[in-house]
Structure 1
Amino acid sequence: MKSTTGEKLFYGINYIVLLLLGLSCLLPLVHILALSMSDAHAIMSGRVSFRPIGFTMESFQALFQGTRILDSLKNSITITVVGTTLAMIVTILTAYPLARKYFIGKRFFMLAFLFTMMFGGGTIPNYLIMKSLGIINTYWALWLPALVNTYNLLILRTFFVGMPEEVEDAARIDGCGEWRLLGSIILPLSLPVLATLTLFNAVGFWNSFLAVLIYINDTHLYNLTVLVQNMIQSQSVLQEVVASQMIQADDTAQITPEGIKAAGIITLMAPMVIVYPFVQKYFVKGALLGSVKG
């Protein structure tokens, strides 16, 4: 069917607007990447735009040698891997029974979960609960409240509900119990939505910031997000690097706070950017399957 002039104009405007929006998101990241790889003189003179000038990796070297970024990176990986694993296990074990017709009381539990989307206790009650449980200054204060995300639960439950009943009937005829049905039949057929929810959880835990500031008192337990934020706000990054005695004093002239901060931002973003392409093919498919069916 041939497009009319109005449709062509409409699509053309859409493409232009989307292109501008995409560039508005991409160009600042390209600028930060260029800053992290540019010579100090080029950064201080303001000549760096979207490509490195005087290519150097000294900002990254100073970042990794003069700060606790490796410890913070290890903390971020621990928070993300353990938190995502626990959240996915609990979400699956919660969504599966809620998707079964024969589960008694599923309406009550669904309403209870939906209630949490509209009303919350607030920061102070949550803190008091964590304190009463004795998990302040531990990562359990980050993991426990995020074990079940209601939005993710609804997506996964809707996907389970939309599965053909014939698949379950055939499995039961072959002698599958509930656990084997879930592990051998349901989950392998749910890889797109599981990959999508895993990405949602991983990004959430990786970017944990406010919860870390509230529940974690030991600075050695801070994750990468908090460390980079502190670096951005601090005006004494170079002094911290020099005080670490890991970079010679005569090399500090080649390092700028802006370059170190840019290197920290790139380090923070890099793991998620690397992981995303591996699950991108499942992303749209999984979200649509879990939100449209049922």
Structure 2
Amino acid sequence: MEFTSPQAQQRYDAVVEAAARTVVGLDFDGVLAPIVEDPERAVIHPGAPAVLRDLARTVRAVAVVTGRPARQALALGGLDALGAELTEEGRELFVFGQYGNERWSATQRRVVSPRPPAGLATFERDLPAVLRACGAQDAFVEEKGLAVAVHTRRLPDPTDAFERLVGPLRDLAARHGLTVEPGRNVIEVRSPGRDKGDAVRTLVAEQHAEGFVFAGDDLGDVEAFRAVAALREQGLATLLVCSASDEQNALVDLADVVVDGPDGVLELLRQLVVDAS
């Protein structure tokens, strides 16, 4: 792992000291699971369940905070079974899906979710015409219940298609009272008013946390990073981890630690468990 400053090393040491009172938040795609062309095949890294098990035994709580629907993250991560195992040991695992709009916990074992946002159905009705106008009619459209994600990864030039689409989709979303969340070759359209930063603040309040670690990989994690940085100003021990890639570097300048994809994230978490033991 690569610390971005001497202060970052000190922040890591403070988190180690406060590990038993610390919550660890983790994005799913690009952090626990490698990025793949088909998002429905983005299964968790094979080494992740064992690391999450050891981590949950070391810290106050572990939470997966993702743009994916919670049920999808549970299935792709095998998190339901892991949560059941941890509950027997008195440990807790959370999943906050769709940027915190959905919530699941190992103790409750059910997904709590609001109704789809007003305007989403009409947005989906108008979406094909916008895709055709941008020459991106073959983009993969993922319906997520509370949101719609337009993936450009399968197109011949994913980056160019993304750049052509993001403006028109932002305009279309605004006309329907929705907001846009750009990611790694994906543009997600959802209801405004809630983001991953809200999930961070909820976890801190409910768990009475004295420390917080968050690992993310793209623009959808910026609000979580900002929330953790604000908690740092309030005296919490914090660590911000960027799972870096060639596709996205939006979090590098905000991070305390930069690692190489899910392999690097898991290596850091293993080291955290060892150092806190």
* TM-score normalised by length of structure 1: 0.26
* Larger RCO, structures 1/2 (Cα 8 Å, 6+ apart): 1
Which is higher, the Rg of structure 1 or of structure 2? 1
Task: Indicate the structure with greater strand content.
Answer: 2
Task: Indicate the structure with greater helix content.
Answer: 1
